[in-house]
Every structure is written in C-alpha cells, then in structure tokens.
Amino acid sequence: MRVDPDDSAVEDGEESFKSLTREEAQALRARLPQVSPWRVVAAQAVAGGVMAGASWAVAGRGEVVWSALYGAATVVVPTALLARGMSRVTRLSEVKANVAAFNFMFWEFLKIGVSVAMLAAAAKVVPDLSWPAMLITLVVCMKMNWLALLWQGRMTTTRS
C-alpha cells in the first residue's frame, strides 16, 4: 500500500518513499542508538588478545603468539583508521549526502589498502610467521563487526 500526495491509499504492491523532516530524523536517531566505532575497535583488540592467549596455551611458542597478534593488528589498525576518519567527518556541520558517501568510500578503500599491505608484509615483519594462527585470529577479529550488530539489535529490542 502506498500513499499518494493527496493522502489516498493506493494498492499496487509498491510503497512510496517519504522523506523525513529534521525533527523526525532526530527522533529516529534517538530511538535507534548507534554502536560506537571505537567500541568495535576495542572488541576487535580484545578478541585479538584472547586469540593470542589461546595461541600461547595451544602452541606454547612465541612465533605463534606474534603471528596471532599481527593478525589482530591487520584488522584493528585499519578499522581504527576508518573510525578516526569517519568520526572526524561526522563532526563537520551539515555534510551533504554525496560528500558523506565519498568520505566513507575513501576511508573504506584506505582501510582495505592498509589491510592488504599489512598482509603482504606479514612474512617479512613477523619472523617464522604461522599463517594459520595469523589468519584464524584475523577472521575472529573481523567477526567482531557482526557482534557489534548483534549488540545494536539487542539494545534496540530492549528499548522498544
């Protein structure tokens, strides 16, 4: 069901798009709290530390722990760079939608580039690199993004 400008309901299987006023947008933001990107960075860092501890408990070798820590850094450092860049951009007053989209794409591509560069340098940076320890830790740290979305979903459902 969609609404025409004359407020009469039309049934054709499509819904009309309604722009929000400034007040409606602010009310929606207040109802749906956002997860801080720094909370995601912190969760990724904690996950990396836990994985490094687990690597020590399982393998008991320093090179495995350093590999796990480097895997965590490959996720945490670029995510912190993105969070810093995006938080600086959102502080600017009245950013236009196209400028905001460009800024997000710029910081996201920079994040990906830094991640790829760190992965390419891994064998030279970490002596006796353990690829399984590094990659498993990297994947676990990346999954913290999904955990943040779950936190946001629970915060939203508990407030409703």
The number of domains in the chain is 1
Determine, yes or no, domain membership for 57.
yes
Q: Out of 60-74, 113-127, 141-155, which region has the weakest mean confidence (pLDDT)?
A: 141-155
Length of the chain: 160
Give ∠ CA 67-70-72 in degrees, rounded to 5. 115
Query: Within a domain: residue 75?
Result: yes
Residue 98 belongs to some domain of the structure: yes
Integer Cα distance of 9 and 116 in angstroms = 52
- Confidence (pTM): 0.73
In a domain, 62, yes or no: yes
Q: Is residue 23 part of a domain?
A: no
CA dist 48 → 52, 120, 137 (Å):
6, 19, 6
Bridge-based pairing state of the strands 9-10 and 2-3: antiparallel
| Residue 78 domain-assigned (yes or no) | yes
Evaluate whether residue 49 is within a structural domain: yes
> Residue 13 pLDDT > 80, yes or no?
no
* pLDDT, tens only, 59-89: 999 999 999 999 999 999 999 999 998 887 6
**Is residue 3, in this structure, part of any structural domain at all?**
no
Query: Distance (Å, rounded) from C-alpha 6 to C-alpha 41?
Result: 48
Complete DSSP assignment for 66-106: HHHHHHHHHHHHHHHHHHHHHHHHHTSTT--HHHHHHHHHH
Q: Could you tell me the residue range of the domain that residue 133 belongs to?
A: 36-149
Q: How far apart are CA 6 and CA 47, in angstroms?
A: 54
For the chain, what percent of residues have pLDDT higher than 70? 79
**Cα-only R_g, the chain:** 21
